[in-house]
Chain A
Amino acid sequence: DGGITQSPKYLFRKEGQNVTLSCEQNLNHDAMYWYRQDPGQGLRLIYYSQIVNDFQKGDIAEGYSVSREKKESFPLTVTSAQKNPTAFYLCASRLTGDDGYTFGSGTRLTVV
């Protein structure tokens, strides 16, 4: 079955360490997105990519980095520069021109 896979589901890291969250899709979707969700707040866009080897900053890109070397994969690195990294991270994808965004199951990152 086609879908988006995020791994791991739960991730713990020490403060000051970089960490990479995985997002893989086999839907042949062109566009991929990373969102962050905090309690009491809506999903906020971190980065997005509409084609391979190209990506744009979203509303809260500081302290994060991404790559899009393959259509299927859009990993997100949370760097030590991110001041408050503990959050629920959601990856999504969309076929250009289609209506719906498909979401992965999310990664809950806790930095201690």
Chain B
Amino acid sequence: GQNIDQPTEMTATEGAIVQINCTYQTSGFNGLFWYQQHAGEAPTFLSYNVLDGLEEKGRFSSFLSRSKGYSYLLLKELQMKDSASYLCAVGYNTDKLIFGTGTRLQVFP
């Protein structure tokens, strides 16, 4: 079956670095996505990894290891506005996406 695990909650301090981990088990893997979701709002796309390695986009980076079924999202120079839920999602089969339960990140001054 399909399964994604990520921590439920994390806290960090403004200006710090935080790493949110995600492990997954799926068949027909065709990419891993990270989304940011503020409370009551739609998820917004952050990153997409289909090959092993690190993808960097400004303050955000995402890493993938397909052999380990593992990804992480790295957020640098944390800002208060980064307080949100971060959703790990895996594409599988031809065109389906399964989501983890999300990691709620709280950034404190």
Contact = CB atoms under 8 A, between A and B. Distances in A.
A92 to B, nearest CB: 8
Interface residues of B, number: 22
Interface stretch (B11-19, B38-46, B63-71, B72-80): B38-46
B87 interface: yes
Interface in A95-112: 96, 99-106, 108
Interface residues of A, number: 25
A96 B30 CA distance: 13
Nearest to A94: B95
B7 interface: no
B96 A40 contact: no
Given A42-B87, A45-B98, A50-B95, A99 B40 contact: no
Contact of B101 (A42, A58, A104): A42
Interface string A1-42: 000000000000000000000000000000101010000111
Interface of B: 4, 8, 31, 33, 40-45, 48, 50, 87, 89, 95-102
8 contacts: A43-B87, A45-B97, A48-B96, A99-B48, A100-B45, A101-B33, A102-B45, A106-B42
